[in-house]
Amino acid sequence: MRPITKIMLGIIAVGGLLQSVGFGLLLWPSREFTRFYLQQVVWLRPTMIGLTGLVALVFLIMLLVAIFRRSTAQSLILAGEDGDLTLDKSAIENTVAKAVVAQHFAKSVAVAVSIRKKQVARMRIEAFSGNSKDLKAEAKQIEETARQKLQACLGIPVKHVRVHLLPATKVKAKTARVI
């Protein structure tokens, strides 16, 4: 998660907690807080209304995401004349990784796949290239290899492929450990 996202979520969470505490104190019969509230009503009421609006907005967004976000699956189901074929997510990732290693000068290939019921929605490929020149062109070739492999082997469409390619000089050398 990005740091700015963490900061924004933290601010929203603190606002929601303050709003909950303030609302609870308003409902709880406490003379001290009631007296404080009546003295500070000029700024406290708009603050509480604003925090309530923020909490309502957050929960509305959560509800919309829950309703409209397409769900992902852990396996892909391919229907055929002889029956259904179920492919596990790790099998698809392994197939693509082996195809990339076989056709390109790449090391440490890691593939992450996001699956929907009938298609591969997203694929992220991370690898270290032995070729330190023209990484962009090689990334395009790796993307095309991944698309072709899934289309040829499984006959399934891929909506989005993202390739993150680094030169092999960025690989951390494993040092020998003497015991």
The domain boundary, picked from 45, 68, 91, lies at 68
Same domain, yes or no, for 92 and 114? yes
Same domain, yes or no, for 120 and 45? no
Mean pLDDT lowest among 54-63, 94-103, 164-173: 164-173
CB of 163 closer than 8 Å to CB of 142 = yes
Q: Tell which wins on pLDDT, 115 or 124.
A: 124
Phi/psi of residue 177, each to 5°? -110, 125
* Residue (of 125, 124, 91) closest to 108 by Cα position: 125
β pairing state of 106-115 and 84-88: unpaired
Segment 56-89, tens digit of pLDDT: 888 888 888 888 877 666 777 777 778 877 778 8
Residue 128 has pLDDT above 70, yes or no: yes
- Domain annotation covers residue 103: yes
Number of separate domains in the chain: 2
Same domain, yes or no, for 119 and 163? yes
Distance (Å, whole) CA 105 – CA 163: 14
The mean per-residue pLDDT over the stretch 163-173 comes to 71
Same domain, yes or no, for 83 and 33? no
Question: At a CB cut-off of 8 Å and minimum separation 6, what does 42 contact?
Answer: none
CA distances from 17 to 97, 135, 139, 153 (A): 45, 48, 46, 52
- Domain annotation covers residue 55: yes
The domain boundary, picked from 48, 68, 88, lies at 68
Residue 77 has a CB neighbour count (10 Å cut-off) of 12
User: In this prediction, what percent of the chain has a pLDDT beyond 70?
Assistant: 86
pLDDT value of residue 178 = 67
pLDDT value of residue 174 = 55
Structural domain boundaries, residue 134: 75-170
pLDDT value of residue 164 = 85
Residue 35 has pLDDT above 60, yes or no: yes
Same domain, yes or no, for 101 and 161? yes
